[in-house]
Every structure is written in C-alpha cells, then in structure tokens.
Amino acid sequence: MERISLTAFFPAYNDQHTIEAIVRTAAEEMRKVTDDFEVLVVNDGSKDQTGVILTQLQSKLPFLRVIHHERNRGYGAALISGFKNARKDLIFYTDGDGQYDVREIHNLLAELKPNIELVNGYKVKRADAWYRIWIGALYRRAMKWVFGFSIRDVDCDFRLLRRYIFETISLESASGVICVEMAKKFDRAGFRMVEVPVSHYPRLHGRSEFFRVRHLVHTFRGLLKIWWNLVLSPRLPVWMSTAPRKY
C-alpha cells in the first residue's frame, strides 16, 4: 500500500450537535492507517455555536485546523476553501451534519489504487423523507442525462480525492451545484474513478435549506451556467461561444 498522507475535511454550517464527534472520530480512524494526517473544518458562517465549539477544539487538538467564513457563502464556497487549504496528498471530505459515517473512510481507502484518482461513495439507501428520496432520484437521473457524466450518485458527498486533481481543474460554483460541476470536470479531465456503497443516516438536527424557493432558483441558475459552459458551449463553433475555454 502506498504511503498515506491524508486530510479529512468537513464543511460545516450550524452543526453544533455533530461537528465535535465527527472531528474526533475522523482522527481516531485516520490514526489506524497513518500518522501523517490533519482534520480541516470550514465553518461557513454558522449562526449557532459551531464556531465557538471549533475554536475551543482547535486549542486542544493539534491536528485540527479551522477556517471561519464571516458570513455564509454557500456549500460550494466552503468546499473550495477546504480544497485550497488542504495540505496532505489525499483529501477525504463529507458533510458536518452526521448523515454519513466517517468510519467508512476505510472503504474508500481500500479502493484507492495507484491508478485511481478519486473514490466516490454512493448511497445504498437514502435515509430521508419519501419526497426527498423521490426528488433526489429524479434529480440524479436528470443530471446524468443532461450533463452526460459517468458518476452514479452526484449528490453523495462522501469522497476521497488526490489533491493534485485541483492542479488540473478549478471550481467556481458557490452553491450545492458544485457537485455537478466537479463530476463533469472530473470526466472531462479523464480522472479515473471507483465508486463504493456507503451508508446514509437520518438528519437528527437542523433541516435542509434545499427546498426554499430562493435556493431552488439559485440552484437552477447555477446548473444552467454549468450546462452552458461545460456542455453546450464546447459544441458550438468558436465564433458562437462566449464561455472561457480554460477550466
């Protein structure tokens, strides 16, 4: 097995009930495979005690680094901050709300062979309300059809990536549509991927912001921009395309 140098990164927004356990559990699991690791949390303008908890933890845990966004910039912006500030060769990330089990990181590490750039999880069974499961399935099928990428579960945020990926691609989306942007750019760059099943658990604290009208409108606009830049524009004659060619 190759030497493991690993950042575990967690975007957090109003996750006061879950973030400490996630940080500590991640460190315990990484110690089982390497002593070259760090935990990085991006507190994306939380309005609860998430920031306070993380500041206190950082003073006690030498492996923990925390980045505080003064205001909520969006899920994509939190991911971009984490990817840019990760210091190790491998980056594992998942959300700070506890709907994924960080102990399953070992399932991802087991599939990261020398010829693989990223390992992506896919939910075995989504632990949400029936309407979210139905809408989520429809969304995944629509995104796969519209964008033509190979990933099975684009909105499963349980991933292990080689950090050098971000020397080849750059990300722009500040919202949750960053997952679609990543998937399309991974495919375009030819990165080799393996997918593994992961568990998904009910949200015990807080609630999703996805179904707010303002959020839905913002998501649609973000997807339209990605579709234009990464799908439609490359097919147009050069004189018709206004999208930047570099990504």
Q: What is the pLDDT of residues 11-39, one digit of tens each?
A: 999 999 999 999 999 999 999 999 999 99
179 neighbors 155 (Cβ within 8 angstroms): yes
User: What does the DSSP 8-state code read for residue 17?
Assistant: T
Mean pLDDT of 231-236: 64
**pLDDT computed for residue 127 by the predictor:** 58
Q: Could you give the 3-state DSSP secondary structure of residue 127?
A: coil
The 8-class DSSP code of residue 204 comes to -
Over residues 197-219, the pLDDT tens digits come to 999 887 766 565 554 546 666 77
Burial letters for 43-71: b for 16+ Cβ neighbours within 10 Å, e otherwise? Answer: bbbbeeebbebbeebbeebebbbbbebee
- Say how far apart CA 21 and CA 23 lie, in whole Å: 6
Q: Is the pLDDT of residue 228 over 90?
A: no
Percent of the chain whose pLDDT exceeds 70: 83
pLDDT of residue 209: 55
CA angle 126, 144, 80 (to 5 degrees): 75
Domains in the chain and their CATH numbers?
6-240 (3.90.550.10)
Across 123-127, 165-169, 210-214, least confident range: 210-214
Output the 3-class SS for 46-109: CCCCHHHHHHHHHHHCCCEEEEEECCCCCHHHHHHHHHHHCCCCEEEEECCCCCCCHHHHHHHH
* pLDDT at residue 98 tops 70: yes
Query: CA-CA distance, 77 to 8, in Å (whole number)?
Result: 17
Q: Which of 13-22, 28-37, 114-123, 149-158 has the lowest mean pLDDT?
A: 149-158
| Packing angle, helices 130-147 and 213-227, rounded to 10 | 20
| 75, HSE (Cβ side, Cα atoms, 13 Å) | 21
Q: Is residue 10 pLDDT above 60, yes or no?
A: yes
pTM: 0.85
